[in-house]
Amino acid sequence: MNQLNSETVKRLAKEVGFDLCGITTPEPIPQSSERFRRWLDRGYHDQMTYLARDPERRSDPRVLMPSVQSVVVLGLNYYQPNSQVTPKSSGRVARFARGKDYHKVIERMGMQFVAMLSQVLGPGAGAEFRFLVDYGPMLERAIAAKAGLGFIGKNSMLISRQFGSWFFLAELLTSLPLESDDPFAVNHGRCGTCNLCIEACPTGAIVDDYTIDSRKCLSYLTIEKPSEIDSKMASQLGDTVFGCDICQEVCPHNCRAVLTEHSELLPESGVGEFIDIDEVLKLTSQEEFLQFTAGTSLTRPKLEGLQRCARIVRNNQAE
């Protein structure tokens, strides 16, 4: 059986295509666990009731995988610029969702990563792996900060010196004992006295440093909220039909953003930066909806949710 060290793990992660890789221990982070519980107690998760189920699983990777000794945290840059003008009768899609569904893209990369690690270890190694993308039950931004990938900003995003906040996260839990990274080895910066994200949020969703009230967050309202959107909130959507990038766009750390090298995440591979509102409203069946959103994250709100947001954007553009 061959041995795997942290250096080899990071090299293989890079070969697969991940842009960032850090390693940490699986012990829970008390401050993050307590902040998450307070967030739930205040009802900031709104109708995302699944987040309140068994919060310990999100705080402690050892509950997910009792044999875990190391957590490998991976990052994938998805940055792409915005067009300056919105085409007529179109709704804007947030950057993360313009290409193919990143969950599927990252899962494929994760499977390849695990296969390469297993190949190095050789047969009979007995190592265990569990790969998670961001819908897995984990407080991933806190764990990523612990692994040295960045710091958590006032907008609750993980911010890295190399990519700003424009990157996806994934985690590999493993029974292998790997050397951990120093979370402070890289000076990723800090927010300091800057409040640009708080001031720019049109609905006041950043209610405190590092705390988002989902009930006011445009990303939550356009993607996750199953019921109707309050008219006051709806007026703040502007031309946004899916997701929101405002708090990231104003962040000074994102001046370091670089165009993603992953073509699957670019508009040409998915629905694009804009979708035709009239076309969305003409969809009459689940089959038509799935054909329109095939392979992308826009399947998440379902037909009713996407058409609800399309109607809001049409009304906003008419005013």
C-alpha span between 249 and 255 (Å, rounded): 9
CA distances from residue 187 to 151, 184, 190, 253 in whole angstroms, order as listed: 9, 7, 9, 12
CA distances from residue 22 to 27, 69, 142, 214, 307 in whole angstroms, order as listed: 15, 14, 13, 29, 40
Helix, strand, or coil (residue 125): coil
C-alpha span between 39 and 52 (Å, rounded): 10
Rg of the Cα trace of the chain?
20
C-alpha span between 223 and 296 (Å, rounded): 13
Catalytic residue among 134, 230, 239, 276: 134
Instruction: Look up residue 216 and give its DSSP letter.
Output: G
CA distances from residue 167 to 77, 116, 152 in whole angstroms, order as listed: 4, 23, 13
Straight-line distance from the first to the last Cα atom of the chain, in angstroms, rounded to the nearest whole number: 68
Q: Burial level of 21, CB count in 10 A (0-12/13-18/19+)?
A: buried
In which residue are the tokens 């906003």 written? 316
Q: Do the Cβ atoms of 228 and 234 come closer than 8 Å? A: no
Which residue blocks in the chain are alpha helix, DSSP H?
6-16, 30-41, 55-59, 61-64, 102-121, 140-146, 196-200, 218-223, 231-234, 246-249, 277-282, 286-293, 302-318
* Catalytic site includes residue 230: no
Q: Do the Cβ atoms of 261 and 111 come closer than 8 Å? A: no
Half-sphere exposure of 133 (CA within 13 A, CB side): 15
Q: Which residues form the catalytic set? A: 134
